[in-house]
Amino acid sequence: MLTPRTTPAARVTPIENGWRLEIPAGAAGSYRLAQLDDYFALPRGRFPFVAPASLSLRCRISESLLPGTWGFGFWNDPFMFSLGLQGAARRLPVLPNAAWFFHASPESQLSLRNQLPGNGFLAQSFSSPKIPALLMAPGLLAAPLLLSKTFARWIRAVLRKIIDEGSARLGLDVTQWHTYSLDWNPTRVEFSIDGAAAFETSVSPKGPLGLVIWIDNQFAAFTPGGKINAGTEQNPVPAWMEIETVNARMPAGKSAAARRSANQA
């Protein structure tokens, strides 16, 4: 079941066959989010989806060049740090696994590979080894060293060897209704728009993953030169996305728990 998450003054409201996610206008310096997900109260090992799985929905956006990010697809919520407050599961950061349609404004640089796009509207997939969060936790102590561009460039090179990535920038008018689909299989991910193939990659994320649909005003950048920057952007007017006919599923057969166990084996 999809559950809404919002910051103050943001809204998730029902529309016919779907939802409208809206964040208010505001200045930089304040985070604004409207989100639907199915994993907030779950530990990562119990996220609902493993390959093979698919997602299809119809979507339109208020503006083609919105500040911040928006998108929809499957991911492992890798950057979440939670002590289990307010109903959230306890989680530490892990490496990313995701397959989604993703938009990032020009301030972002979210690819570790110079030949792949780091912003714009993307079909994108990440696949990372499932290193336990507790084993990664000591690495957080080295975070201040990322202020050194030399160290940051070295870390970026290491992450590039660990995290596999496939993506393509998509050219279409996202303010108009389109039907977006992705098929996530153990060895590939296929993206299509309005029934036509848009991108295919052999980079397949490792499950289990959760379904997320969101719009926000944040940006993040990790440039080839070792510069790291993150924050929130101004959006002069309210920004919204409308979603219809969401269909996320796995093939009938084994239970979800059994499929997760098979995927993790």
Whether the pLDDT of residue 265 is over 50: the answer is no
- At 140, the pLDDT band (50, 70, 90 cuts) reads low
pLDDT at 262: 47
- At 105, the pLDDT band (50, 70, 90 cuts) reads very high
- At 59, the pLDDT band (50, 70, 90 cuts) reads very high
Give the integer Cα–Cα distance in Å for 77 and 167: 19
Tell me the pLDDT tens digit for each residue of 3-25: 999 999 999 999 999 999 999 99
pLDDT at 85: 46
pLDDT mean across residues, the chain: 89
Strand order in the sheet with 33-37: 3-6, 33-37, 210-216, 69-75, 98-104, 120-127, 164-169
Contact present, 151 and 144 (Cβ < 8 Å): no
State the DSSP string of 54-75: EEEEEEEES-TT-SSEEEEEEE
pLDDT at 181: 98
Domains of the chain: 3-264 (2.60.120.200)
- pTM for the model: 0.91
pLDDT at 154: 87
Whether the pLDDT of residue 83 is over 50: the answer is no
Tell me the pLDDT tens digit for each residue of 252-264: 754 455 455 544 4
Residue ranges in the chain assigned as alpha helix (H): 133-136, 149-162, 256-264
Give 258's contacts (C-beta < 8 A, 6+ positions apart).
none
